[in-house]
Structure 1
Amino acid sequence: MKHYDTIIDVGTLATHLGEEGLRLIDCRHDLADPGAGRHAYAEGHIPGSRFLHLDEDLSGPRDGRNGRHPLPDPDEFAARLGRRGIRADDQVVAYDDAGGAIAARLWWMLRWIGHDRVAVLDGGWRAWREAGHPVETQIHEALPTTHGVHPGSVAAIGTQALRGALERDEVLLIDARSPDRFRGENETLDPVAGHIPGAVNRFFRENLQGGRFRPADELRAEFLALLGSRNPTEIVHQCGSGVTACHNLLAMEIAGLSGASLYPGSWSEWCADPSRPVATGPG
């Protein structure tokens, strides 16, 4: 099977369904109802899919200071993948029902542990169903294997390092949350409203049109306008908890703008310490 490392369309995936070395991961999740994704998976999924839960599989333990979806220990994450039968040389395709917002988190995390053969299903579950492709309810037992950790092709930055880089004007911080939350309005997920001083807003849904990623040239033009004179390696992405920020990272990769970093703790980690500055308004 060809190597896919950004997105794959439903027609192409359908032609490869059932091939050896293809691993499909259902990442459906609802922040307001954490059990909804697993329930949806049980009701129907793309044949052969395994399910990974955002809170349980794609996040680590929370301590009240490290955000709502902290990264897990990389070795433990790799062990979870192995228990799902995912090998380091498999072609992984992740999908959800949220325009790739959750699937992109798995895309980034696999690259974080050195697994670059991973793509997001463009259009996700909805596009698969609309195209009339097969669906199953059977849950297959995975044959456990081993998935190691290797140097990744993506980078993460911690709070203190980010704060210093912002003070020295070494990076541009891009916030993927909705404009109202960025401005400090209608905050329902985190205890403090606002944004990190110096951040600019790029709502992740601007990457989509009709539930699918917009053409690469359009994404490239918009991100270049946002970056200005900055190199992609000087860009850090964040959101509320390090999930939808990965959607902007994927969009930049589709646009041929590689090298940006993720602030995994994002706003939920930043605002957990009242000594850290907070800004409101348009930025």
Structure 2
Amino acid sequence: MDEFVVTPAWLSDRLEDPHSQSQPQIRIVDVREPWEFEGIGHVPGAVNIPFDRFRDEGDADRGMLPGSDVFAELVEEAGIEPDDTIVAYDDTHGVFAARFVVTALLYGHEDVRLLDGDYSAWNREYETTSDASEVEASSYEPEPLALEESPLIEREDVERAIDRGALLVDTREQFEFEEARLPGAVRFDWREVVDDETRGLKPRAEIEALLAERGITPDRELVLYCNTARRISHTYVVLRALGYEDVSFYEGSLTEWLAADGRVESGPVSSSNSDSDD
């Protein structure tokens, strides 16, 4: 799974032995708020790119991608080069960091990974610091994925996917799912793959079994959605790490769907399409 998700031990080994970091260089991105990064501490060498800076904060497209120019400015300030290996983390089981991972992938950064676990998990076993990281600004030219390569799909694409029998996966909580959901969707709360004790991902076999219970299997065409594309980012990274290939990312999610008066279902669902609250 380390093509998309890396363990704290993997990262620690590379921090302890810089000579093992022949190109590409490891760049660690902390997406927490600045007061957390500076006041609580961070992984040594990490740079701070807060979550709200890499998403659109406008009223029309709140929570959407920030735009390639904004992304380029952020990573240039952080000293990130196009060939660097990026490892992102947060302190919320990886859900905010996963949004950075997906954002970087969509803007063409080839090697970007999610730290398995979060800052609290790292802090249990490894060194942290409050010292500012020395950064030399870089030059960065994003290369957004072409339409045929990108997992992003629009509302019209979702409607066509529904018509051809794709499986829609809702990554939200039970009460949200019952209030309104896309037609035929199954619920798979993004937190189901997280171990509350370790704060990292559950074992691969356990995750695969949980997915299979909902019919979320590698042979299916999958369309992920939530409200504003944060929670589906985590599920998307996990599915890609497991080798799932036919996974679409509906960034507009339910917010856009409702604004366009799209068809929805609501109310309780049968036991085959529900689960206990996390």
TM-score (norm 2): 0.84
Q: In the aligned structure 1, how far is the partner of 2:144 from the partner of 2:182?
A: 32
The answer (yes or no) to whether the contact 1:99–1:208 under 8 Å persists in 2 is: yes
* Matches for 1:52-67 after TM superposition, within 5 Å: 52-57=49-54, 59-64=55-60, 66=61
The answer on whether the counterparts of 2:68 and 2:142 sit within 8 Å (CA) in structure 1 is no
- Contact 1:4–1:91 (8 Å) recurs in 2: no
Q: Which residue of 2 aligns with 1:276?
A: 262
Deviation, 1:97, is: 0.7
- Kept in 1, the 8 Å contact 2:37–2:130? The answer is no
Tell me which residue corresponds to 2:43.
46
- Could you say which residue in structure 2 is the equivalent of 1:23? 27
Asked if structure 2 preserves the Cα contact closer than 8 Å seen for 1:219 and 1:252, the reply is: no
- Give, in angstroms, the shift of residue 55 of structure 1: 2.1
The range that moved more, 254-263 or 134-143, is 134-143
Q: Distance in 1 between matches of 2:10 and 2:51?
A: 26
* Alpha-carbon offset, residue 81 of structure 1: 1.8
Structure 2 residue 75 is the aligned partner of structure 1 residue 71:
no
For 2:274, the equivalent position in structure 1 comes to none
Identity within the alignment, %: 27
Do the aligned partners of 1:87 and 1:147 also contact (CA within 8 Å) in 2?
A: no
Please say if residues 158 and 265 of structure 1, whose CA atoms lie closer than 8 Å, have aligned partners that are also in contact: yes
CA gap 1:84/1:132 in 2 versus in 1, 3 angstroms: closer
Equivalent of 1:100 in 60, 78, 94: 94
Post-superposition CA distance 1:10-40 (Å, at most 9, x none) = 1221121274511100112xxxxxxxx2210
Give runs of aligned pairs for residues 1-283 of structure 1, distance below 5 A: 4-17=2-15, 19=18, 21-28=25-32, 37-43=33-39, 44-57=41-54, 59-64=55-60, 66=61, 68-151=62-145, 154-166=150-162, 168-184=163-179, 194-209=180-195, 210=197, 211-227=199-215, 231-232=219-220, 234-273=221-260, 275-283=261-269
Structure 1 contact 22–90 (Cα < 8 Å) conserved: yes
How far 1:139 moved relative to its partner?
Answer: 4.5
Q: Is the 8 A contact 2:218 2:243 kept in 1?
A: no
Determine the C-alpha separation between the residues in 1 that align with 2:227 and 2:187. 12
State the superposition RMSD in angstroms.
2.3
Distance in 2, matches of 1:212 and 1:224, equals: 20
Structure 2 unmatched runs, 5+: 270-278
Q: Which has the higher helix share?
A: 2
In 2, Cα distance between the equivalents of 1:180 and 1:39? 32
Offset from partner CA, 1:130-165 (integer Å, 9 cap, x none): 114232332434422224315376410111221232
Distance in 2 separating the partners of 1:272 and 1:8: 38
Q: Structure 1 stretches of 5 or more lacking a match?
A: 29-36, 185-193
CA distance, structure 1, for counterparts of residue 102 and residue 87 of structure 2: 12
Give the Cα–Cα distance (whole angstroms) in 1 for the partners of residues 216 and 91 of structure 2. Answer: 33
